[in-house]
Amino acid sequence: MTTASLTRERGHVPFTIVNCTLFALFALVCGYPFYYLIINSISANDLSALGDIRWLPRGLHLDNYGQVLDLQGLPQAALVSFARTVIGTAATVLASAYLGFMFTQPRLWKRSFWYRAVVITMYFNAGLIPVFIIMKTLGLTNSFWVYILPLVVQPFNIILVKTFVEAMPRELQEAAEMDGAGILSVFFRIYLPNMTPILATVAIFSAVTQWNSFQDTLLYITDQSLYTLQFLLYMYINQADSLAQAAQQSGGDLSGIASAATSQTATSIRTTVAVVVVLPILFVYPLFQRYFVKGIMLGAVKG
């Protein structure tokens, strides 16, 4: 297959080799760090602390994953990250579906005015501090809802859905209304089920944003019970040495069973938490590729 296509390209073999090599190198540079984190999180902790694990894991063990759960605040942070991803995604998907649909309805009072008022917010921003002060005024600092409410209405998603709905046959709605269906049942019974492809795109966009979000915790949250995994990881990178001591004092070392290979080090804590943070992304990654591409294509058609 490859040889056939090479000969078809009439003597451009050197070009093909250089081209493929460069891409292989860049792919390696992109993929290797993830591999490095994973093998370090499952190798003997005394070796990983020395930076000796580079290509293959050595002294395989999974104790780190059990032990990071004992780190103070980690299970709670995982819960917060999980909750904001699920609730935030559900809210964004529903809002985008409903608004995207409503903005196609000519009967909506002052439709194009409201549509413009929503879309234009993509292009300006009052700035970090004014937004911070408003969040404070609204009582959203140190509240879980600061993770959800500001992200519910996202103009880009609404444009995606609106474009999608406009491409659906208008007769669907007309036929249903002839049968006496009101606008809400037209939306829930007819449009919502048929919007699945675009809503999947919106859902994945939104889930990734929610899971990866770091800045809102930094700005609005001081209550440790509302820290997210991303925020905890950032703290661990900067203070893992003291953390490792704490883990060793409270962890398996007291019983005398834990060996150098399994007792926690700064490196083992960092890499393990990093893998915990990145694994969900790796798991749903095959979905991304399908729906994300669809999403930006639609966005590109509009933009």
Partner 1 sequence: MAAPVQVEAVVASEVEGRPRRRGRRGAQASHRRQSFGLFLTIVPFLVLVFLFSYFPLYGWIYSLYDYRPARGLGGSEFVGLQWFRMLVGSPTQVQQILQVMANTLAMSFLGIAASVLPLAFAVFLGEIRATWFKNLVQTLTTLPNFISWVLVYMIAFSMFSTTGMVNGTLENLGLIDEPLKFLDSDQHIWLKMALWGIWKTVGWGAILYLAAIAGIDQSLYESAKVDGAGRFQTMWHITVPQLMPTFFVLLMLSIANILNNGMEQFYVFQNAFNREHIQVLDLYVYNIGMTGNNLSLATAISMLKSVISVALLLSVNALSKRVRGTSLV
**Binding residues among 231-290 for partner 1 as defined by CB under 8 A:** 231, 233-234, 237, 267, 270-271, 274, 277-278, 281-282, 285, 288-289
Nearer to partner 1, 1 or 257 (CB): 1
Alpha carbon of 4 to those of 21, 36, 165: distances in Å? 19, 36, 45
Give the residue among 212, 218, 269 at the shortest CA–CA distance from 241.
Answer: 269
Phi, psi of 127 (to 5 degrees): 115, 160
* Residue 9 interacts with partner 1 (CB under 8 A): yes or no: yes
Alpha carbon of 276 to those of 53, 78, 226: distances in Å? 19, 9, 18
Report the nearest approach of partner 1 to the CB of residue 9 (Å).
7
* Residue 87 interacts with partner 1 (CB under 8 A): yes or no: no
**Binding residues among 166-195 for partner 1 as defined by CB under 8 A:** 169, 171, 174-175, 178, 183-184
If you compute the radius of gyration of the chain from its CA atoms, what whole number of angstroms results?
25
Report the nearest approach of partner 1 to the CB of residue 110 (Å).
7
Q: Where are the beta strands (DSSP E) in the chain?
A: none
Q: Which stretch binds partner 1 (CB under 8 A): 72-80, 112-120, 191-199, 252-260?
A: 112-120
**Is residue 100 within 8 Å of residue 160, measured between CB atoms?**
yes
Nearer to partner 1, 164 or 231 (CB): 231
* Residue 197 interacts with partner 1 (CB under 8 A): yes or no: no
Q: Which of 79, 197, 214, 241 binds partner 1 (CB under 8 A)?
A: 214
Report the nearest approach of partner 1 to the CB of residue 255 (Å).
29
Counting other chains too, the contacts that 131-134 makes at CB distance below 8 Å and 24 or more residues apart are 132/219, 132/220
* Residue 30 interacts with partner 1 (CB under 8 A): yes or no: yes
* Residue 81 interacts with partner 1 (CB under 8 A): yes or no: no
Dihedral sign for Cα atoms in the order 121, 302, 157, 292: negative
Report the nearest approach of partner 1 to the CB of residue 214 (Å).
5
Give the residue among 25, 83, 81, 68 at the shortest CA–CA distance from 275.
Answer: 68
**Binding residues among 142-171 for partner 1 as defined by CB under 8 A:** 149-150, 152-153, 169, 171
Nearer to partner 1, 110 or 257 (CB): 110
DSSP 8-state secondary structure symbol assigned to residue 123: S
Nearer to partner 1, 62 or 175 (CB): 175
Report the nearest approach of partner 1 to the CB of residue 82 (Å).
15
**Is residue 154 within 8 Å of residue 203, measured between CB atoms?**
no
Q: Which stretch binds partner 1 (CB under 8 A): 36-44, 160-168, 195-203, 250-258?
A: 36-44
**Binding residues among 45-74 for partner 1 as defined by CB under 8 A:** 50-52, 54
**Is residue 204 within 8 Å of residue 287, measured between CB atoms?**
yes
